[in-house]
Amino acid sequence: MIAFLSKLMSSESCKNFQFDNIHTIEGKCLIAVLSKLIGLTILFGSIIIKVPQIVVLYRNWSSIGINPLSILFETISGILLIFYCRINQFELISYGEIISLFFQNVIILYLILIINKKSQQIIFLTSSLVLVFSFLFVDIFTKEFIYVAYLYLTFPLSMTGKLLQLYTLFKSGDARNYSIFTSLLMPIGSVARICTTIVEHNDLLMIISHTIPAILNFCMLGLCVKYSINSKDSKRI
């Protein structure tokens, strides 16, 4: 417990406590510690955040209303964000949920492809994942390349994916294959991550990459609630 608290107090705001104005530093240190705690909550919560969505898809054995391109774009965007955070040596606590969401999105993608019997796409997805992990562990890309890719691809992919999903859901008018639990926690988690990013890194690119999806996640939640009355015949979580 002591080691855990020491880790939380290891930021510059807390290290300089004895040397600066006591009132100013206490406030900064408290904010830093709260940010770390929120980051840990996001990290642990992200481990199960899309599990209900996976369960709903499996129980209904249908992907109606879900756009696979949206999940794919979100997955690619997450990969770029992981590369960006890793090459900038950010703490795992500041982007760990992206890793969790990546694996859960991959499971959802596989599930959608299996449900729709897309064997060729399954092979392609598997090959692509193997290639991506190879690049991740050998550090083949330069920091400049990752920065440019993150700047010009992450935000457009994330926004396009969310808009595609909103359009698909709006067009189908059917939210039976959506988990209300997942739809509720996604925007809440995005807002929390915006706060921790501002406190810990103040990285404008990361702030933007979390802000737009947060807004679109709230729109998604609104549509899910609106169409939930049409999903009485499906098992939902």
* Lookup: tokens for 33: 């510690």
Answer yes or no: is 22 within a domain.
no
**DSSP letter (8 states) at residue 93:** G
Sequence length of the chain is 237
Q: What does the pLDDT read at residue 50?
A: 95
Q: Does some domain include residue 15?
A: no
Would you say residue 172 lies in a domain?
yes
Asked if the structure places residue 117 within a domain, the reply is: yes
- Is 177 within 8 Å of 233 (Cβ atoms)? no
**Residue numbers of the domain that contains 226:** 34-231
Domain count along the chain: 1
Helix axis angle for 180-200 and 51-60, nearest 10°, is 160
Does residue 170 sit within a domain?
Answer: yes
Residues with Cβ within 8 Å of 39's Cβ and at least 6 positions away in sequence, in order, are 93, 94, 96, 196, 200
* Helix or strand (DSSP H, E) at 61: none
Tens of pLDDT along 110-135?
Answer: 999 999 999 899 999 999 888 887 77
In a domain, 46, yes or no: yes
Specify the pTM. 0.85
Residue 18 inside a domain? The answer is no
Token readout for 106 is: 């991959």
- Alpha carbon 180 to chain centroid, angstroms: 17
Query: pLDDT at position 83, please?
Result: 87
24 lies in a domain? Answer: no
Residues in the chain, pLDDT under 50: 1-5, 17-20, 22-23
Return d(Cα 237, Cα 220) in angstroms, integer: 16
Q: How far apart are the first and last CA of the chain?
A: 35
pLDDT at 18: 45
Three-state DSSP at 50 gives coil
Q: 201, 90 in Cβ contact below 8 A?
A: yes
As to burial, measured by CB atoms within 10 angstroms (0-12 exposed, 13-18 middle, 19+ buried), residue 140 is exposed
